[in-house]
Amino acid sequence: MRLKIAKLPGDGIGPEVVEQAVKVVDAVCKRFGHEVEYTFAKVGACAIDEFGKAYPESTHKICMESDAVLFGAVGDPKYDNDPTAKERPETGLLAMRKQLGLFANLRPVETYSSLVHKSPLKEDLVDGADFLCVRELTGGMYFGEKGRRDSGDTAFDTNLYHRYEIERILKLAYEYAMRRGRHLTIVDKANVLESSRLWRQIGQEMAPEYPEVTTDYMYVDNAAMKLITGPKFFDVLVTENTFGDILTDEASCISGSMGLLASASIGEHTGVFEPIHGSYPQAAGKNIANPLATILSAAMMFEYAFGLMEEGRVIREAVTASIVAGYTTEDLGGSQSTSEVGDWVANYIAR
Ligand code: IPM
Ligand code: MN
């Protein structure tokens, strides 16, 4: 197969971790006889520096013309304490999601038995936890009308959801639930928010279409608690954009390190595959960041963008092997550098 990949390393540790994922993708392509072509493009702070825009039109064009986007991270501390900045690195990520129509963000949470001791939670509580978070990605407060009034002293963000947006994400979540453990938890705040009441209403309308799936409705505050007191309860968790942002950061701690959590954003156009950890500027350029989340995102890319399941499995197997061998970066208790872990995983696949 011929694979056209847009390579968007972005900012901070993005370039270092994407480089490792590229080594792994190359090793997989070599082993399975695929031809791969990368097109580099800028996004985030580095794109603002060069083009004045965090998601320039030229980058969008490259994404549209590719089969998948391999993404690192965006963000730069110089924007963090400047609330007046018009163009921010994060604006680029949001524009990309919107323009590519990526309404679904899939964040699987898996645990590795040899790593459960790294989890801040009790081992028996997390060992075996395995669930999929499905976060709505192009609606809600992130994109609803926002602004200031009263000479800037009043601010608002609108949590707007249309029926079609809720229906398509719930449909997807049900489809994943059917393929997994047939248990869907719809997370909302329907006791307070009108938008959540619409989510719950549509969930109740759709549930009978999936009689094999057990549907639960859970308030987001309760879900936040359940994620740390009993993560094994979950199979597929679906929720709106802002709740999903918060809950998936929380969920990322379960497995022991944020450096392990991969994600896929899919929807109308080219899918984006990225680690959830962000740009981690303190580590940028030091060759210490954990590349496994990006490598696992590449596994998701093979599976979701190319339908190449065996290739994805081989990457996962190599990642697990590196963890079992203790050949990891510091966050996982090892002493290897970013590039050493990348080389190890790529060599494991090539051997
Ligand atoms: C994420 C990130 C982004 C978000 C930021 C960088 C805009 O935190 O992908 O979870 O809030 O969606
Ligand atoms: Mn986030």
C-beta neighbour count of 292 within 10 angstroms: 29
Nearest ligand, CA 97? 1
**CA of 75, closest atom in ligand 1:** 6
**CA of 274, closest atom in ligand 1:** 9
- Nearest CA, atom 8, ligand 1: 245
SS3 assignment for the chain? CEEEEEEEEECCCHHHHHHHHHHHHHHHHHHHCCEEEEEECCCCHHHHHHHCCCCCHHHHHHHHCCCEEEEEECCCHHHHCCCCCCCCHHHHHHHHHHHCCCCEEEEEEECCHHHHHHCCCCHHHHCCCEEEEEEECCCHHHCCCEEEEHHHCEEEECCCCCHHHHHHHHHHHHHHHHHCCCEEEEEECCCCCHHHHHHHHHHHHHHHHCCCCEEEEEEHHHHHHHHHHCHHHCCEEEECHHHHHHHHHHHHCCCCCHHHCEEEEECCCCEEEEECCCCCHHHCCCCCCCCHHHHHHHHHHHHHHCCCHHHHHHHHHHHHHHHHCCCCCHHHCCCCCHHHHHHHHHHHHHC
Average pLDDT value for residue range 82-99: 92
Say how many Å lie between the CA of residue 245 and the centre of ligand 1.
7
Say how many Å lie between the CA of residue 74 and the centre of ligand 1.
9
Nearest ligand, CA 242? 1
Instruction: Give ligand 1 pocket residues (Cβ under 6 A).
Output: 90, 93-94, 245, 276
Say how many Å lie between the CA of residue 33 and the centre of ligand 1.
35
Amino acid at 78: K
User: pLDDT tens digits for 23-46?
Assistant: 999 999 999 999 999 999 999 999
Would you place residue 86 in the very low, low, confident or very high pLDDT band (cuts 50, 70, 90)? confident
Nearest ligand, CA 263? 1
CB-based contacts of 83-86 (< 8 A; 24+ apart in sequence):
none
**CA of 105, closest atom in ligand 1:** 9
User: pLDDT tens digits for 103-154?
Assistant: 999 999 999 988 888 899 999 999 999 999 999 999 999 999 999 999 999 9
Nearest ligand, CA 43? 1
Say how many Å lie between the CA of residue 147 and the centre of ligand 2.
22
> Is the pLDDT score of 84 beyond 90?
no
The catalytic residues are 142, 189, 221, 245, 249
Average pLDDT value for residue range 179-188: 98
**CA of 94, closest atom in ligand 1:** 7
**CA of 90, closest atom in ligand 1:** 7
Residue 224 is encoded by which pair of tokens? 């936040």
Say how many Å lie between the CA of residue 244 and the centre of ligand 2.
8
Residues pairing with 114 in the sheet: none
Say how many Å lie between the CA of residue 208 and the centre of ligand 2.
32
For a substitution probing ligand 1, which of 71, 103, 245 has the most ligand atoms within 8 Å of its CB? 245
pLDDT of residue 82: 82
- Nearest CA, atom 4, ligand 1: 245
pLDDT of residue 81: 82
> Is the pLDDT score of 303 beyond 90?
yes
User: pLDDT tens digits for 197-236?
Assistant: 999 999 999 999 999 999 999 999 999 999 999 999 999 9
